[in-house]
């Protein structure tokens, strides 16, 4: 629930993505029915936040008695000719609007891109508040409506009509007081058990404290960086840009330029080169200190099939001052290899595995901690731990379909959170492709499409090759 409090002013705490499909868009009534049927798999998407009187207690998730899928599933047609630029402009507008906290915190847009038979395909844009998708088992409405078979999947859904379960405010309050009394009465016993058994489960407040402390330590022990034009106050409006390449091309480029380098290393090198080009194009000095907050896997050989996330978040210095693409990739690989073995990586990984919090929750937590404590004398000096977030997550490795129509690409939306971060770079793999989603403050980054073109140029420079989006 902490992300509900974080959403204010220019800070939007929703994530999502733009899925681009081939073929004709489905009938909207059929699309709505399909989404509503699949909501059985994610019951929280029919629930809304209910604040108790005085907001002194933690808010509750309650069924929305007036739930109407058409308040959340929307239908838009781009004006002729339905270009990629028009699509990106619309996505930016959609993502600039905060979600209504009086209703379930998600939206899904079906976007037509041209007249029937135009061959432009269609898009679906998902927008979900982070309060709905915190945790290891998080799943988004955009995922559950897809199928690995164009004919659909038998998911064992009941098909029963949904009916809300309701509780009066006095019942909620009584339940809270009963829970509190049980905790008080059992506190000594639980404290003793936890002291003797460090693996004993902890309550949510302890988990949050442990998580915050872990990322506070990560920020405190990282070298500070200097603010750039990307680290000025932002507004509420967003713009997006896209780029794509092949996963095989990125793997090949990583292997050719640095022994043991990963796709994530290559992605960081491409992003670094593109950012360098952007600084030069703007006539800005190239920063000698520039870092990204980067979620990454720290699995060891042989752990590929092990359960659990084995994810850590590292603050990775990016060598923007290095001109040669090969040298940039080698230097980034050396840096990430060293950081993955560090005590900070191990500690952050333990925190994530214990708490179930995953990016971009971590970005928000560490940013909130750093932002809240930086002015406090003697606690943390005023400093900027990182300049932007660069995130790379795996998607489906096989083709998937929406009501029979194939998904061509998906471009993630990584929220600009916390404040003074005007840019984020996300990537997701899908069916042999790797697809970038750039998010920028509308006013600070009017040249976001230029940055996307620089990513294409850097992909070519390292031999990965860009593909049309």
Q: pLDDT tens-digit profile of 295-345? A: 765 545 444 333 334 456 788 999 999 999 999 999 999 999 988 777 655
Contact 99, 90 (CB under 8 A): no
| Angstrom distances, CA of residue 25 to CA of 78, 112, 129, 195, 450 | 13, 7, 26, 58, 30
Per-residue pLDDT band for 467 (boundaries 50, 70, 90) equals confident
Question: What one-character-per-residue DSSP string does 131-194 give?
Answer: GGS-STT---HHHHT-BSSTT--------PPP------HHHHHHHHHHHHHHHHHTHHHHHHHH
Do the beta carbons of residue 276 and residue 288 sit within 8 Å? no
Q: Inter-axis angle of helices 325-340 and 247-257, to 10 degrees?
A: 90
Tens digits of per-residue pLDDT, 124-172?
Answer: 999 998 777 654 344 578 889 999 999 998 888 888 889 888 765 555 5
Mean pLDDT, rounded, of the chain? 79
Beta pairing partners, 240:
439
pLDDT value for 58: 60
Nearest 10 degrees: CA dihedral of 340, 346, 350, 356? -20
C-beta of residue 14 within 8 angstroms of C-beta of residue 98: yes
Residue 183 reports pLDDT greater than 60: no
Domains in the chain: boundaries: 2-153, 205-391+418-467
DSSP 264-312: HHHHHHHHHHHHHHHHHHTTPPPPS--EEEEEEE-PPTT-TT-SS--EE
The answer to whether domain 2-153 and domain 205-391+418-467 are alike in fold is yes
- pLDDT of amino acid 441: 97
Helix or strand run (H / E) with residue 466: strand 466-467
Whether the CA torsion 255, 259, 260, 261 is positive or negative: it is: negative
CATH topology of domain 2-153: Chloramphenicol Acetyltransferase (3.30.559)
- Please name the CATH architecture into which domain 205-391+418-467 falls: 2-Layer Sandwich (3.30)
pLDDT tens digits for range 217-250: 555 556 678 899 999 999 999 999 999 999 999 9
Q: Are 12 and 415 in contact (CB under 8 A)?
A: yes
Q: Which of 411, 399, 402 is nearest to 27 (CA)?
A: 402
| Alpha-carbon dihedral 10, 443, 274, 465, rounded to 10 degrees | 90
Q: Which residue has the tokens 């998708």?
A: 133
């Amino acid at each position: 629930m902490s992300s509900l409090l974080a959403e204010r002013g220019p800070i939007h705490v929703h994530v999502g993505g733009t899925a681009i499909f081939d073929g004709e868009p489905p009938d909207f009534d059929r699309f709505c029915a399909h989404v509503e049927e699949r909501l059985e798999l994610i019951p929280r998407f029919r629930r809304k936040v209910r604040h108790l009187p005085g907001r002194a207690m933690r808010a509750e998730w309650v069924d929305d008695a007036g739930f109407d899928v058409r308040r959340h599933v929307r239908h838009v047609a781009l004006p002729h000719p339905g270009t990629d630029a028009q699509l990106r402009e619309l996505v930016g507008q959609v993502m600039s609007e905060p979600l209504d906290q009086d209703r379930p915190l998600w939206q899904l847009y079906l976007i037509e891109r041209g007249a029937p038979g135009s061959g432009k395909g269609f898009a679906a844009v998902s927008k979900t508040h982070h309060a709905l998708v915190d945790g290891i088992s998080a799943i988004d409405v955009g995922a559950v409506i897809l199928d690995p078979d164009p004919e659909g999947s038998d998911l064992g859904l009941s098909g029963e009509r949904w009916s809300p379960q309701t509780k009066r405010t006095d019942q909620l309050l009584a339940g809270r007081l009963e829970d509190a009394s049980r905790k008080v009465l059992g506190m000594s016993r639980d404290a003793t058990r936890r002291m003797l058994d460090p693996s004993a489960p902890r309550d949510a407040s302890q988990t949050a404290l442990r998580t915050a402390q872990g990322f506070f330590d990560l920020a405190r022990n990282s070298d500070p960086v200097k603010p750039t034009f990307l680290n000025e106050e932002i507004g509420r409006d967003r713009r997006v840009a896209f780029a794509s390449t092949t996963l095989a091309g990125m793997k090949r480029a990583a292997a050719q330029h640095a022994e043991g380098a990963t796709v994530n290393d290559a992605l960081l090198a491409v992003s670094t080169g593109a950012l360098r080009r952007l600084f030069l194009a703007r006539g800005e000095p190239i920063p000698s200190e520039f870092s990204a907050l980067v979620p990454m896997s720290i699995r060891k050989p042989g752990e590929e099939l092990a359960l659990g996330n084995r994810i850590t978040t590292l603050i990775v210095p990016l060598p923007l001052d290095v001109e040669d693409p090969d040298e940039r990739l080698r230097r980034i690989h050396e840096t990430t290899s060293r950081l993955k073995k560090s005590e900070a990586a191990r500690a952050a990984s333990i925190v994530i595995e214990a708490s179930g919090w995953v990016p971009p929750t971590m970005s928000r937590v560490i940013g909130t901690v750093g932002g809240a404590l930086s002015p406090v004398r003697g606690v943390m000096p005023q400093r900027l731990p990182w300049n932007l977030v660069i995130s790379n997550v795996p998607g489906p490795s096989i083709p998937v379909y929406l009501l029979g129509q194939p998904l061509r690409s998906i471009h993630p939306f990584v929220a600009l959170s916390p404040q003074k971060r005007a840019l984020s770079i996300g990537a997701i793999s899908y069916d042999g492709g790797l697809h970038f989603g750039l998010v920028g403050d509308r006013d600070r980054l009017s040249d976001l499409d230029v940055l996307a073109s620089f990513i294409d140029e850097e992909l070519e420079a390292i031999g990965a090759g860009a593909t049309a989006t």
